Amino acid sequence: MKKNITLPLTKEKVKTLKAGDQVLLTGTIYTGRDAAHKRLVDTIKRGEDLPFDVKDAIIYYVGPAPAKPGQVIGSCGPTTSYRMDDLTLPLLELGLSGMIGKGQRNETVISGMKEHGAVYFAAIGGAGALIASSVKSSEIIAYEDLGAEAVRRLEVVEFPCVVVIDSDGRNMYDVERKKYER
């Protein structure tokens, strides 16, 4: 099913999303890869405030290319998500409701998604230039020293993605693979 979602991604909206849904996201999303996630989790462990409120937020696993003149952002295709798996649960516990990346997630993350009401979206690897066209503004909000891996606040309009794992744990990677098993 095709859905347009206006962010933030509340728990009520999460419940309406099912594995296989094609989604266009409009609103604010945040970026962060493994180096940023490590800092976010260390911040949580120290009991300090994060650089943004993760409740009902979406993190996009991306390290965008530099913007060319006249562009908001460079090509911004998804990063392989398993690199964040060991650092995801503390964010889910604080209310993170969505993640965007590519590839499988481990059982700890999937269990956390089910327990805390979150979804995992896939963006199309290799479509970074197309994805960049949905980004209307980009601002570094934390960890500027990480360069491309700094945390950014992106304002997006009709950001294309697919629900791969829903909040009930239905996993398109498993379901679709089984269709072709002999």
CA atoms within 13 A on the CB side of 56: 11
Angle, CA 65 vertex, CA 59 and CA 70 arms, to 5°: 105
| In the block, residue with structure tokens 């999937």 | 110
Residue 167 identity (one-letter amino acid) = S
Q: Catalytic site residue 37?
A: yes
| In the block, residue with structure tokens 């962060």 | 32
Catalytic residue (one of 13, 33, 37, 152): 37
SS3 116: helix
The residues annotated as belonging to the active site are: 37
